[in-house]
Structures are given as C-alpha cells and as structure tokens.
Structure 1
Amino acid sequence: MRWLGVALVFLTIVPLHVLVSLVWRRDAVPPIFLGLMGRVAGLRIRTEGVPCRGGLFLANHISWLDILALAKTSQAVFVAHSGLAGHGGLKWLCDQNDTVFITRDRRGSVASQVEQVRAALSDRPLVIFPEGTTDDGTALLPFRSSLLSAVEPLAGQVPIQPVALDYADAAAIAWFGDEPGMTNVRRILSRRGRIELTIRFLEPLSGEALANRKTMTAEAQQAIAQALRLPLAAQIP
C-alpha cells in the first residue's frame, strides 16, 4: 500500500509543482511533497521547541527520512553529498528544493563549498548534517566543522540552531554501513506501523559558542548528544 501511496503522490504533486513553478514560486510545493512522502512512509512527527526562520540548522543524521521530516516541519533546504547529483531523477528532485551539493572528500574544494553554503542562506533554514553521513542511532559520529566557515563571519547575525532527531526505534530504520540506498527504501516502505519521530529544535547557539566554527560545532554536538542521551563522540576538524 505504501508503494501505491508513493506513486499517487508523485502523479499528483509533480505536475502541480511544475504548474506552480511556472506561474508563481518554485519553492512552494517541494516541502509539501516531501512532507507527504514522509507521511506515506509512516512518519509521525512531534516537535519540541521553535525552529528559527532562516539561518542554519545542525542536525544528527539517521536516515533519508530526516530530510522529509525537516522539510515538512520547517521548509528547510539541505546540504547534500555531490554523489547524489549523479542520479538524474534524484538530482532533479533535489534541485526542486534548492539542495546545495558539496564534495566532502576534496580538501581543495572547501572554499567553494563555503561560498555555496553562504549563498544558500535565505528565509528558509539551511540544514547541514555535520556527521557527514548517517549512523545507527547508538552514538553520534564526530561532527565536522569545515562547512561552518560559511557562517563564521555572520555569528550573532544568522541564527545557528542545533536540531535533535529522536526516532523511537532508530536502529530499525537507520541507513548506514554497506546497505544500498534502494534496499533501505524498500525496507522502510515494507514496514508495518508508524515511525515515531520527535524533532527537538534546541536553543540557538549564543555567547562564547559563536566564537568560531570549532566552538559552534562542539557546542552543537554536545547539545544534540544531551538531548538524545547519546555518547558524545570526539570532535574532528
């Protein structure tokens, strides 16, 4: 039944999005589309706290469901690995929500990535997953600070908000290790029952936490680890 729901959402929303993009705004429909996809996949979301308008979200990363959930609750835009840009249909979907593609494994590209992130800051929040990949929900992976260079000069002007994604059964839905993406999608869509998720929009960073990108990263990681009651991984550059 969930596969049928996915097909119905695509057939209904994609033509609507194309029409709305021609006569109004391209960013109006994608958050609705992503939210509906999350609902079809079984997501049931509860929120705590208030998402900041604009600025930067720093969130832990468990699953592709994270993107559907944050788009629904905050109309967010995302930073994603450039590997996704190699898949035509998926890239088109990402482009419709103004995804920022970066290449994390090329050190020489950090400066250009910083400019991409800075340019993407707008009224819609921009989400970075500082772990750089998904995990199994048992501990936070080390947070990376390099992309926060984009907002370092704007500290105190642009809100920088940690966001804790707390799944009731993270280990069962997590996408990590060697599991292929489509295998995980099929596994999630074949599940019965709901996927309960609490999104905790934590207090924006302030004071000494805004001193530089490393302090921002460390404070965000600590806040999320405390909210999720998870072990705190060591910070890396």
Structure 2
Amino acid sequence: MIRVTLRVAALVLALLLALPLHLLWRLLRLPSPWPKWFLGSVARIIGARRRTIGAPLRRDVVFVSNHLSWMDIPILAGRSGSAFVAKAELSTVPLVGWLCTLNGTIFVRREERMAVADQINALREALAEAWAITIFPEGTTGDGKALLPFKAALLAVLDPPPPGVMVQPVRVDYGAATTELAWVGDEPGTAHARRVLGRRGSFAATVHFCEPFDPRDFSGRKAIAAEARARITAAGGG
C-alpha cells in the first residue's frame, strides 16, 4: 500500500509539473513536448526501464503494435510521441479520459458501423497534421505468449493509404515480467492498475521498432495487417 501511495503521489507531481507548461505551449501555439514528457515519466514511475531497438519514424506514420497492458501507452508515447486510437468508453473515465485528450487520442466506437466513415476521416485529419498514430490491431490486450489475430477493420484508415504515410510495426515486450504484468481476462482496470503500481522493483520494457514499409505496396488492409503481424512476430524471435 505504501508503494502504491508513493507512486500515485509521484504521478500527481509529474502531472502538476507538466500540465501548466503544456497549457502555456498551447496558448503560444507551439508544439507541446509535455504530453510526451509526462507519459515518459509515467512509464518510469511505474517501474518500466525502457530498452529501444530500432528507431521510430517521427511523422507521417501509423505504428501497428501488439498490446499487453495500459502501460504500453506511456511506454510507447514516451519514446515516440505518438497519439493513440482508443475505444470511446475510455473517454468517459474520470481524469483518464481527459488526460487522453491532451495527447490527441482519437476515440472510436467500433460497434457503430454508421460512424465508421467519420472515424476514418478523423484519423486521416490527424495524419494530415503530421501526427504519429498508434493502432493496436489485436483489439484487446494479450498474454504476451502469442499474438492474437489482427482485426483488419481497425486499419481502415490505410485503405487506401493517405499520401506519404508509412506503416511501422512495433513489438512491446516486458521480458520475464510479461506474464505478471499482462492485462488479460476479466480483471477490472482499477485492480490491474493497483497491481502494477504495487509491484516491487522495476521491469525491462523492450520496444522494438521494426523496419517500416509502404502500405501502397500491399493490396488492401488485410494484406497490410498480415505484413505488420509477420514483422511483429519475427521481432519476437518466432
């Protein structure tokens, strides 16, 4: 309980440092580095010791990543500055939803088929602003032992690909702690957060940025998803 309290206090302090500076940068209409700094701080506070393989593209890129836990977001954003595509339900979570908006999160309602065109347009507009966007095509978190099937529908923004946009597959791995830290089953989000915050010590978080590829070289979202999945699998050594 003491460890959880100390880490929560550190998270609040990091937010109180970053938020006024972020708002000042926005007021001056300058690109704000503070969401990236804050999320990187979150990763360090929860115990992640990041190791990076490869280099992320800086702009005009869709990162396609495996998904293990909510921790993936601060770990990836702290390295790449990426915005994320997330389920709309997250936007209603107190504080968390608001923090997501600061990082430019794009909320989608996957069950509302009539809204798909609007969601694709929102993603295209974000890419037109030269953002980097991360998509988790498994659609949920896995156990880290094997990739779940990719849902090609989540890559609709790449069919057809916006001009100049590349795809860069990413593999996130927590090493020996993966089984302990992965968020699987019906565990409530608050319970998982407490479990992570209460964990003793640190853990290795490897972020492997695979070689990017041009989605225009592939015939549609299913082929793009298959290529990204193959590269993420290869990055795991099997």
TM-score (norm 2): 0.89
1:90 — aligned with what?
A: 96
Other structure's SS at 2:173 match? strand
- The CA deviation at 1:8 is 1.7
The more displaced of 154-163 and 137-146 is: 154-163
Q: Deviations over 1:55-99 (max 9, x none)?
A: 100000001111101111111010000001112422211111110
Q: Deviations over 1:191-214 (max 9, x none)?
A: 111121111110112488522111
- What stretches of structure 2 of length at least 5 have no aligned partner? 1-5
Distance 1:206 1:19 in 2: 37
1:4 — aligned with what?
A: 9
Other structure's SS at 1:153 match? coil
8 Å CA contact 2:64, 2:134 repeated in 1: yes
Distance 1:117 1:147 in 2: 11
2:212 — aligned with what?
A: 204
- Alpha-carbon spacing, 1:111–1:208, altered in 2? closer, same or farther (3 Å): closer
The correspondence for 1:36, drawn from 26, 33, 41, is 41
8 Å CA contact 1:205, 1:216 repeated in 2: no
1:20 — aligned with what?
A: 25
- The CA deviation at 1:154 is 2.7
Other structure's SS at 1:58 match? strand
- The CA deviation at 1:30 is 0.6
2:224 — aligned with what?
A: 216
Distance 2:152 2:121 in 1: 15
> How high is the sequence identity, in percent, across the aligned residues?
41
TM-score (norm 1): 0.90
1:184 maps onto 2:192 in alignment: yes
8 Å CA contact 1:110, 1:146 repeated in 2: no
- The CA deviation at 1:124 is 2.9
8 Å CA contact 1:79, 1:99 repeated in 2: yes
Q: Map 1:162-181; keep pairs closer than 5 Å.
A: 162-168=169-175, 169-181=177-189
1:233 — aligned with what?
A: none
The correspondence for 1:127, drawn from 130, 134, 156, is 134
8 Å CA contact 1:173, 1:188 repeated in 2: yes
1:235 — aligned with what?
A: none
8 Å CA contact 1:26, 1:96 repeated in 2: no
Other structure's SS at 1:154 match? coil
- State the one-letter code of the partner of 1:15: P
